[in-house]
Each structure stands twice: as structure tokens, then as C-alpha cells.
Structure 1
Amino acid sequence: MAAAKIHYEVFVKKHRKASWILAEARPEREDAIEFAKKLLSATPTGSVRVSKERFDEESRAFRSFTIWEEGAEKFETEAEKTGDGSLPCLSPDDLTNPSARDTMSRVMNEWFVRKQVTPMELMHSPEHAEDLESGGTELQHAIQKVAVASARDGDSTVHAYVKQLHELSAKAFDRIYKDGKSGRLPKFSRYKTYASLVEAHAGEKSPYKIRAALADRLSDERGFGKKLSVLMEFATELPEADSARKTGCEQLDIFLAEILNFESGMTALIGSPEELGDQVQRLADIFDGSDSAESLQGPPADARTLTRLMKTGGLPSCKTMIASALLERLRRPRRMRPKDVLAEVKLARKLAQKLVMAQGPDLAVDALQDAFAKRSARLLTPETIGDFLEKCETPDQEIENLLALEENIVGAQNKRKLAGYIRATLGNHKTEGWFVSGGGRAIDRLHRLTGFQTKALKGNYPDEDKSGLATAFDALGQKVLERSGLIDAIVNGPSPALDRAASLLKLVTCGAIPVGKCSVAAQQKAVQLIRSDAGLEEARADTERAKLADIEAMLKTISGQSAAA
């Protein structure tokens, strides 16, 4: 008998700032210590301890003391908790609150998905309650999970919370069974339509009977998809009176949102498109109220129905679930368009523009930015970039495509990574050979480089990366100038000195050569020509005043550009 009142609890602490977390309870001392050692080997920076838990008959409480502890460093033992450990849910009615139902969905997710029922159905159906209570250890495991989480942040022990949760669940089940036997849980068959059900009970203080009748009707259907369709049908049967209509819509919203809270329920709504991009597009159109959008024209038809209902503002909980599913899919590691990077880039841009306009309480700007930052990171893997540049025929096309990608990338870290790809492309031998020794006129290749540099400077890269890109374009431009001898050819040409100086300055002001050492070199050579004997002699002639005015204007323009930079 005594042995049955002793067990051993294994706790783990992942690092100094972490709290002790109950990992598992074992009946045997040696088994608990062995399990603790395995945990420690998997958490080398943490510590573990094993405590012996003995039940004291006199105080009706467990007495605990540590029998074994090891770890990389000695952590302080958590202070003994002596509080009453009050739970936020005190009565069966509290279990129908949104936070309680969300907790149930998380800790018993497998059971709900396997049975294809929702927490609200469970709390209003004796059959489902009996199934859960007598179905094995799932209820016990759920209680243990909630108790451990509560004890971690609360003022009492796991055992105290377990006791309270057992008492609360017992009260809830007792009420369901008693109400079922007494007939307080009405059958949906008593009413002709959903509207008549709502009208019969809309004036009551609690929607308990409406929910019970809904749960009864849904029990006839197998699968979230069929239940979703039934609820959609009910949405077309709302009462005409405003107060009753509001009540009916609120209850449908709760049941619909609970179904959509499960992945299989969301799949029943939007279907199973092969590509993630199609899922995201459908969710975005539903959230935005675009019921005529192309993505919603095929099956399932319930998606269009829900979109129209949400558009009226009558299903706020459903809209929250759609927003949550949308953000979750945007954060997934999968590509939205795995076979076409360019199509994915276009889709990401389209979605970003659409959702920024639709943002609100359910879809906050910071959450969108975070989701699209994660989505942007998927586009910047070496494999994806390789696919993106695969069809480029020349190095300048590769650079052009990479620069265009910047407008579709969110997040400073992602833009920094993109800048790294651009610099790497500029620095490889193929790119250098194409610009320095490629076909056509050198001035055309320089003009191309200058256009790229200008676009990079207008981009939203971090300042350090923007400066690095400008320098990289300028460095390649210097090599083109050196190989082509363009500046020297102008300096040593047969034209008058002021004409040659003007030509050099036009290279800068017209964006024919990159900003930096390239433009400085051209400007310095132009000034030397102006100050040369030939240049000064030409400047003294009255016929050259217009030419001098043009040169002065270009020098001011260049000076202004340098100051702005």
C-alpha cells in the first residue's frame, strides 16, 4: 500500500534563466534516474533532478524531496509553492469561454480530430462526454498537460492543479449527463429550421439550449466538411428580427470558428490545392471578401458562402481563424510556386499589396511583415536563386533580375542577403568578362552598369549594403574604363579642349558611367582640360561663353549630386 503512494518525478531545466519543468513521473526510483540521465544527455547545457513524492495521509498532500540532480551548472532550486493555485475556470459554464475551448483544442487535438467533433459539441453532448471520459487516458493526459503549464507560471503545485481540474471536469460531465437525462438538452428535430430554434430561445439569458440543439444536429454528420455545410445552410435560415438574427449568427460563428480551428476543418473549407500558393490565395480572397475571385470559383462551394457571410461583418471569430490560417501558411517553409520562381515572386507581391490594404485587428501590420519576411527568406535560398537565374542568357540579365527581386523582399536581413547575391554575381569571372570584354560599345555596357547602380541606390537595402553595392558597380565600371580607354580617348581627341571637357562631364551628368571613382576620374580630367593652356585660351574667346556656361552648369550639377550622396 505504501509503495503505491510514492512516485518519482523527473524535472528538467534547459538553461539558467529557464524554469524547472516536469518531464515525466515514474513509479520506480531507478527507472526515473535512468530517464533523467537520458534527458541530460539530450540537453547538455541544462540540468535535471529527480524528486521523491510521498503522499502524507495526515495532511492529505504530497511531500517532496530531491534524491538525484546533475547538470552542467548548479541551478537554484525552485522555491516551494504554497498557494491555492486558482484556475481561471471555476464552473462548467467557464469551459465554454473562448480561452478554455482553445486550450481544449490544443491539449486534446488528436482526440477532436479523430472524432471529428469540436469542444462546443463536447460540452453539450452526453454521448461525446461519455466517449471521452471512458475512452482511455486521453483525458488524464490533457489534465496533466494543463496542470504542468499552470504550475509553471502559478503559485501552486502540479498536484493541486490536477485535483482542481479533476473536480472541474467531473462537475462538467455530471451536468451534461443530468441535462441529457432531464431533457434540458433539446433535440434539433423539435424545430423545423435553425431560425425557429433561435427564435424559441433567443430571449433566454444563456444560449445553452441553442448550442445543445446545434450539437445534436451536428452529431448526425460525420466529418468537419459535412458539419461545415450544415452550418452554412443554417446561415441562410437566420431569423428576420434583428436581436434573434444577431443571436443566431453569433452561435453559428462560434461553431464554424471551432471547426476552422482544426487543420482538417480548414482543409474542408478551402480544399487541398496541390500548391501552397493556391491555398494562400484562397484564404486571402476569403479574408478580403472577394467572393467573385477566380480562386473561389471552383469547389468547395462553402468557401464562397463563408466569404459572403464574412463580408457583412457577421462572423468575426471565423475571420480571426481565416487570418490565423493565412499567416500560418505564409510562414510555412514550403514554396508557394515550387515550379516557377518568377510566378512565386509575382504572387508574393500581389498578396502583399492585397493584404496590406485589408489589414486590421485580425491581420496586424507587424504580423504581416513577419510572415512576409519569412516568406522572403524562402526565396533567398541558393537553390531558389539558382532556379530564378536559370533562364538568364547574360550576366547583365542576372543582375537585372536580382535587383528586381528587391521590391518583393521584406525584412532588412533578407535584403542584406540579396545584396550579397548581387555582389557575388558582380564579382564572378563571367560577369566581369561580359562587361569588360563583351561585345558592342563599351559606353553601352557602362551605361548599363550605371543604371543598375542607380536602381540599387534607390532600393531599401540597409545603408551598409547599399554603399557596398554602389562601390561594387563602380569598381567594375573602372575595369571597363581601363580596358576600353574611353576617358583617355576623349582627353586625347582632336576636338577643342572645352569640347573634350564637356564630353567628359556629360558622361557623369547623363549617367553614362557609375558614380564613384569612375565619375571622379572623368571630372578630374575635365577640370585639367579646362585649366590647360588650350582650355584657358578658348575660354577667353567671346564665342565660347555659351560653352563655358554649359560646363559651369554641369559642374554645379555634379557638385549637387556629390553633396546629396
Structure 2
Amino acid sequence: MFGTGSVSYEVQSRREGRWRIEGAYTDQEAALSAARSQLAASGVDEVKVIRFRTVAGLSLETVILHKTAPKPPRLGLTLGGTAEGAPLCRTPDDLRGFDSRVVIGRLLRPYLDAQRITPTELLHSWPLFRKLDEQGALLGAAIHAVARHHADIHGVAPGPRARELRLLVEAVTGAARDTLAERRRLPRFDSSDLPGTSRSIEAAVGDAGHDTLFLTLLCQHLEGGGTLAGKLDLLLAMIDGDGEGMEPRHLALLDGVIADIMGSADTMKELLGAQPSLHAGLCALIDALFDRDPDPAPTSMAAPVAGSLRRVCLLALRGRAPQSRAVLLERLRHAIAGEQPLDRRDAKAEAVLAHGLADRLKGADGALLGGAAMEKALDRRLLRHRQSVLRAQGMHDIADRLGGR
């Protein structure tokens, strides 16, 4: 009687308590698809799809979809690894150092990835540390894990050592809290003029306080990066070319935060792209560390490595990112020594693929990338493969003897 009229659809999302229009559509399926995509985005609490129908001058609104984002599981309430290698920190600078941050990253990895932050940010941002402290027992568990490790390695009493570590943590985070209280008087961080930023910092706190305040201001700047991959882009944007003309201290400070990011397995998977197997991912990383061209085979199912990761590897190759290089080499070593098959689709190819990795790890001079530690990891994988073959044939005793049992 009145005709079909016109129909349109509007997608809305709620973020931080406010509704916003995400888009207008003429097709219902397109609107529903866009709403589902919004629901999966970070920070979205709810989505709606509203159908607008105009008939005979009347506008009718109908909500055809209204969904709430599922509550994510509480991550980070357990430790993500061991305290192996934890240095015996005595000063705040020790706690902020590279070796310490590697262990912090391992212990708190689930929490750090859930919050999309690095150990450097945790140590230099009072709000981020306070949020961790509010998790309850997580911080205490990490401190006691380190104290027990120190007791095993250095023979110190774990109880007093845990109290020492707690005081050290309070000293570091207290400095971050004091800096936050003075934020209006702090120098401005200019990512396009790091020398100028450093001069302003030195005028404010002197040379001794430069690095700590520089990193505090840098961490505030990185808040705009969002994900760890986004923060990596911000860091690399501050490095001119291959970093040859930069002040060494700036390169070292930026490299430290980049190394923190390289310690995130989830971020590394994102940067490596979709790889068909562990072997393909390892080859991609090895080639990037040697600045080799990726495999041009048209049948390759591997995705290209992110340009940001290739640039980090190039900086490492040129000797300008030693901390990042150390983290990437340890990631390679750990994966090669691990138990995950190099290619789940073809278990029989394990030995061939492992030998291929050994060849790929050699540079033009024939030296093995990662040295003796990498060679040991390769030997361990090959030994485990030989043992599995023997056990599959029922020769368990021989397999055990190979393992030194």
C-alpha cells in the first residue's frame, strides 16, 4: 500500500562508555559483518546494527543486532616462565638493565602481552606498575621466583633476598612515581630531535639522571603506539637509516626497548607473518638476520616478514642493535632446541630440515650464527629425532643409551 520505501543500516560501537557511529550501509549483510569485525577490535565493549526504514515520510528504527564483547579471561595472574639467568641486582640501574629485563619479560610475559607493554615501560611508568601491583600475588610470585633462583645459584637466603628485591623494586617504581608528580616541569620529548631532548634532560637532572628520565619520557611517547608492533614502528622512526649517524647512547636506549619487544612471542609471530611451519618461520628469521633475500619460490606458502622486523635485523647485523640481536638469537636457539616438530605435516623430514637449518645458519665466512650454543641446540634436535626413530622401531634401550641414560 505504501511501497517498499528506502532501507539503510548504521553500525555503532561503544568504547569507554561512549557510543560512536562506525559506518552506514545499504546492505544488511555488509553491516552485520562490519559489526562483528568491530566487536573483535580492541577496546570495543558493545556493537549495534540499526535498520532505518523510510515509508511514506515516516522513519522507522529497528535494532537488528546488539551484542556485548565477551569478557576476556584474566590473563597474567600466573608466571610465564622461570627466573633462570636472573642477575644478582644490587642497584636500581641493575634492575633496569638488559639481563634483568629479559628475566622480567619471561616471568611476566602473559601479563605484559595482555597489557601490550614492555619491561622498560613497566619499570618507568608508575601507573603501569601500580596496575601490576593491583593484580595481587603476581608481583610477589615473580620476586620470590628470583629470590629462590639466587638462593640456588649464589647461596643467599631466599627470605632476606626477597625483601631486598622488594625494596629495590620500590626504589625503581618510587622514582617513576616522583617523576610523574613532576610531569608538568619535565622537558618535552621530541622524537624528531633526540639530541635536543637529551640537552633539555641534562639541563633538568644532569648527566647522571639522563637515561632514566629519557626512558620515562620515551615510554610516555610510546603510549600512542598501541600494540607492541605499533610501538616498534615508533621506535624505528626515531632511528635515521641504519643508525650510523646517531649518538651511541640514543641507539643503546632505543635498542633496549626494541629488544624488549622482540622478547614477545606473540609479537614475533605477528612480525614474521603467517608461516606454514616452524621451519619456515626459522628460515625467515635467519634470512632476515643475514639480510638475505627471502625465498623467491612461487610455491612458498610463507608470508613476507614485516619490514620493521627486517630493519631490526639489519641494525643487528650492522652491530647497532646488540641487545635485540641477543634476544633474537636466543629465540632461534630456544626454538631449535625445543620439541616442536620443524614441520608437523612431514615428521619424516625432520632430519633433512634440521641439517638444512644448520647450513642456513652459516654466514659467508662459514661461521655458525649463534656459535657453540646454536650448534648445541641443533645437536639436541637431531639426537631427539634419532631417538624417536629408534623408539618407533622398538629399540628403546638403544634410544635411551643415546640420551646418556
TM-score (norm: length of structure 1): 0.47
C-alpha change, 1:280 and 1:194, in structure 2 (3 Å) is: farther
Q: Alpha-carbon deviation of 1:281? A: 0.3
Q: Does 1:231 align with 2:235?
A: yes
- 2:157 alignment counterpart: 157
Indicate which of 330, 333, 336 corresponds to 2:339: 333
After alignment, is 121-130 or 345-354 more displaced? 345-354
Alignment of 1:66-465 (within 5 A): 88-154=88-154, 156-183=156-183, 186=186, 190-191=189-190, 193=192, 195=194, 200=199, 204-205=207-208, 206-236=210-240, 242=245, 244-291=246-293, 294=296, 298-340=304-346, 345-357=351-363, 363-364=370-371, 366-377=372-383, 379-380=385-386, 381-382=388-389
Q: Measure, in 1, the Cα distance between the counterparts of 2:97 and 2:367.
A: 24
C-alpha contact 2:362 2:369 (8 A) present in aligned 1: no
After alignment, is 196-205 or 310-319 more displaced? 196-205
C-alpha contact 2:242 2:315 (8 A) present in aligned 1: no
Q: Measure, in 2, the Cα distance between the counterparts of 1:239 and 1:311.
A: 12
C-alpha contact 1:224 1:264 (8 A) present in aligned 2: no
Which amino acid letter does the alignment assign opposite residue 220 of structure 1? G
C-alpha change, 1:171 and 1:217, in structure 2 (3 Å) is: same
| Larger CA Rg, structure 1 vs 2 | 1
Q: Measure, in 1, the Cα distance between the counterparts of 2:352 and 2:132.
A: 48
C-alpha contact 1:290 1:307 (8 A) present in aligned 2: no
Counterpart secondary structure, 1:357: coil
C-alpha change, 1:185 and 1:118, in structure 2 (3 Å) is: farther
CA-based RMSD of the aligned residues comes to 3.5
Identify, as 1 or 2, the structure richer in helix. Answer: 1
Q: Alpha-carbon deviation of 1:104? A: 1.9
Q: Measure, in 1, the Cα distance between the counterparts of 2:243 and 2:375.
A: 41
C-alpha contact 2:144 2:162 (8 A) present in aligned 1: yes
C-alpha change, 1:331 and 1:158, in structure 2 (3 Å) is: closer
The C-alpha deviation readout for 1:450-505, integer Å capped at 9, x for no partner, is xxxxxxxxxxxxxxxxxxxxxxxxxxxxxxxxxxxxxxxxxxxxxxxxxxxxxxxx
C-alpha change, 1:180 and 1:303, in structure 2 (3 Å) is: same
With CA pairs under 8 Å and 6+ residues apart, which has the higher RCO, 1 or 2?
2
Which amino acid letter does the alignment assign opposite residue 229 of structure 2? G
The C-alpha deviation readout for 1:175-233, integer Å capped at 9, x for no partner, is 11111111389576x42525456554697443223212221122223322222222222
Q: Measure, in 2, the Cα distance between the counterparts of 1:99 and 1:288.
A: 25
C-alpha change, 1:175 and 1:232, in structure 2 (3 Å) is: same
Q: Measure, in 1, the Cα distance between the counterparts of 2:374 and 2:345.
A: 25
C-alpha contact 1:147 1:158 (8 A) present in aligned 2: yes
Which amino acid letter does the alignment assign opposite residue 345 of structure 2? K
Q: Measure, in 2, the Cα distance between the counterparts of 1:331 and 1:263.
A: 16
After alignment, is 355-364 or 344-353 more displaced? 355-364
Q: Alpha-carbon deviation of 1:317? A: 1.3
C-alpha change, 1:341 and 1:161, in structure 2 (3 Å) is: closer
C-alpha change, 1:120 and 1:273, in structure 2 (3 Å) is: same
Q: Measure, in 2, the Cα distance between the counterparts of 1:291 and 1:195.
A: 32
C-alpha contact 2:329 2:370 (8 A) present in aligned 1: yes
The unaligned stretches of length 5 or more in structure 1 are 1-86, 387-412, 418-565
- Figure out how many residues of one structure are paired with residues of the other and give that number: 300
Q: Measure, in 1, the Cα distance between the counterparts of 2:192 and 2:345.
A: 48
Q: Measure, in 2, the Cα distance between the counterparts of 1:374 and 1:361.
A: 16
C-alpha contact 1:259 1:265 (8 A) present in aligned 2: yes
